[in-house]
């Protein structure tokens, strides 16, 4: 917390922690308790089939409702959790909530798959595969109903590439999705050597599609190349009809974004599903074919 500097043989110390860093450090120590207290929860954002508009999956997104600071964005506290070595615990918590939700759907005959985001740090934890397998077994959810979203950093990370972690995860029957595609350094040809099933076009490209031909061109190129490699393509950040139509024409497989639905807490997702499909997932016997 103090930085030493050598000034003529006498070490002097300067405080290097500003207010913001102090608050971050404080927050870090609160993560574990916040999970136990239910402050850290999840919302679910629907993903639909581009052609049929059927809901095919929901992405689980973590939320922290802090009693003093209000809602803290995952873009702020996930990097913090990574830095202080708590990302594994946060991931387990999110996975648990996602699979519990999936299990409740299964109990009502609804086979709706859930996606969970995985930080690159998690892929280097030696027990990750065991923990994911354990979570699936504990909830009685088949691997096919789980998608893990990885960021591009994961596949350019040497220790991940040199390990069998992606293949081992894939062997659990789950799907691997490359999140935020196009923002990192990986190329589609690199993906070909990995057990990746789908790519998600980063929302920075999708958001610009209705106004910029350049962004549309990038989206079209990603879709074509990905399809040639046998990968499915999801577009995130679909906010308007024009973008939706463009992506559908381009053959994009799945759509996600505010146009379809914002991320929703559990009870509101329930209402959204009901309004959209006429299926109340709370009612036993709802036919999963209709979702
Ligand atoms: P992501 O996985 O790429 O998730 C997409 C983000 O875009 C989400 O932000 C979502 O709310 C937002 N989004 C969805 N549709 C639209 C749209 O139409 N327009 C715009 N402008 N934004 C849209 P969120 O929930 O704040 O999450 C931010 C990032 O935090 C995620 O990006 C993901 O990288 C990370 N994250 C979230 N939950 C988790 C988690 O449980 N574990 C890990 N490791 N990371 C997480
Ligand atoms: Mg994601
Ligand atoms: Mg993304
Ligand atoms: Mg993102």
At 194, the pLDDT band (50, 70, 90 cuts) reads confident
Q: Which of 38, 40, 29 is nearest to 74 (CA)?
A: 40
> Which distant-in-sequence residues (6+ apart) come within 8 Å of 129 by Cβ?
165, 168, 169, 172
Q: Which two tokens stand for residue 105?
A: 């759907």
Q: Which two tokens stand for residue 51?
A: 């052609």
Q: How many CA atoms lie within 13 A of 105 on its CB side?
A: 27
pLDDT score recorded for residue 11: 59
Q: Which of 257, 183, 191 is nearest to 215 (CA)?
A: 183
Give the end-to-end CA distance of the chain in Å, rounded to a whole number. Answer: 53
pLDDT in tens, 225-244: 999 999 999 999 999 999 99
Residue with CA closest to ligand 1 atom 25: 61
Q: Complex ipTM, two decimals?
A: 0.98
> How many CB atoms sit inside 10 A of residue 129's CB?
18
At 1, the pLDDT band (50, 70, 90 cuts) reads very low
Task: Using a pLDDT cut of 90, give the percent of the chain over it.
Answer: 71
pLDDT in tens, 42-93: 999 999 999 999 999 999 999 999 999 899 999 999 999 998 899 999 999 9
Ligand 1 pocket, Cβ-based, cut-off 6 angstroms? 45, 61-62, 73-75, 78, 94, 117-119, 149, 179-180, 203, 236-239, 257-258, 263
pLDDT score recorded for residue 129: 97
pLDDT score recorded for residue 280: 56
Neighbours of ion ligand 2 (CB under 5 A): 117, 149, 179
User: Crossing angle of helices 87-107/19-36, nearest 10°?
Assistant: 40
Ligand 1 midpoint to CA 61 (Å): 6
Mean pLDDT of the chain: 88
Ligand 4 midpoint to CA 180 (Å): 6
Residue 29 pLDDT greater than 90, yes or no: no
Pocket-testing residue among 40, 41, 60, 74, ligand 1, by greatest number of atoms within 8 A of Cβ: 74
Residue 250 pLDDT greater than 80, yes or no: yes
Residue 205 pLDDT greater than 80, yes or no: yes
| Cβ pair 248, 210 in contact under 8 A | no
SS3 85: coil
> How many CB atoms sit inside 10 A of residue 201's CB?
28
CA-CA-CA-CA dihedral for 250, 251, 254, 260, to nearest 10 = 50
pLDDT in tens, 145-158: 999 999 877 777 77
pLDDT in tens, 90-142: 999 999 999 999 999 999 999 999 999 999 889 999 999 999 999 999 999 99
Average pLDDT over residues 257-284: 83
SS3 291: coil
Average pLDDT over residues 8-13: 56
Alpha helices in the chain (DSSP H): 19-36, 74-83, 87-107, 128-139, 152-156, 158-162, 165-170, 188-192, 203-208, 213-228, 241-249, 266-277
Residue 5 pLDDT greater than 60, yes or no: no
Ligand 1 midpoint to CA 111 (Å): 23
Greater confidence (186 vs 216) lies with 216
Cα–Cα distance for residue pair 86/78, rounded to 1 Å: 9
At 16, the pLDDT band (50, 70, 90 cuts) reads low
| Cβ pair 33, 83 in contact under 8 A | no
pLDDT score recorded for residue 15: 58
Q: What is the C-alpha R_g of the chain?
A: 21
Position in ligand 1 atom list of the atom nearest CA 87: 44
């Amino acid at each position: 917390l103090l930085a030493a500097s050598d000034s003529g043989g006498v070490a002097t110390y300067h405080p290097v922690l500003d207010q913001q860093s102090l608050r971050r450090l404080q927050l870090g120590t609160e993560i574990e308790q916040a999970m136990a207290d239910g402050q850290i929860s999840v919302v679910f954002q629907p993903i639909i089939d581009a052609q049929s508009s059927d809901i095919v999956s929901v992405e689980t997104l973590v939320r922290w409702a802090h009693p003093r600071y209000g809602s803290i964005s995952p873009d702020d506290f996930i990097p913090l959790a990574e830095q202080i070595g708590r990302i594994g615990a946060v991931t387990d918590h999110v996975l648990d909530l996602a699979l519990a939700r999936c299990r409740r759907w299964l109990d009502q005959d609804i086979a709706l798959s859930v996606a969970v985001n995985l930080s690159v740090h998690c892929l280097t934890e030696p027990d990750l595969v065991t923990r994911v397998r354990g979570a699936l077994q504990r909830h009685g959810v088949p691997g096919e109903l789980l998608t893990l979203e990885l960021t591009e950093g994961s596949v350019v990370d040497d220790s991940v590439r040199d390990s069998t972690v992606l293949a081992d995860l894939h062997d659990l029957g789950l799907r691997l999705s490359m999140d935020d595609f196009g923002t990192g350094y990986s190329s589609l040809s690199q993906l070909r050597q990995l057990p990746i099933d789908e790519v998600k076009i980063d929302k920075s490209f999708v958001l610009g599609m209705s106004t910029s031909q350049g962004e549309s061109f990038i989206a079209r190129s990603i879709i074509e190349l990905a399809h040639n490699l046998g990968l499915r393509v999801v577009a995130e950040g679909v906010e308007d009809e024009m973008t939706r139509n463009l992506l559908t024409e381009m053959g994009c497989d799945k759509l996600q974004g505010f146009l379809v639905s914002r991320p929703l807490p559990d009870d509101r997702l329930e209402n959204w599903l009901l309004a959209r499909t006429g299926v109340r997932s709370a009612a036993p016997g709802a036919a999963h074919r209709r979702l």
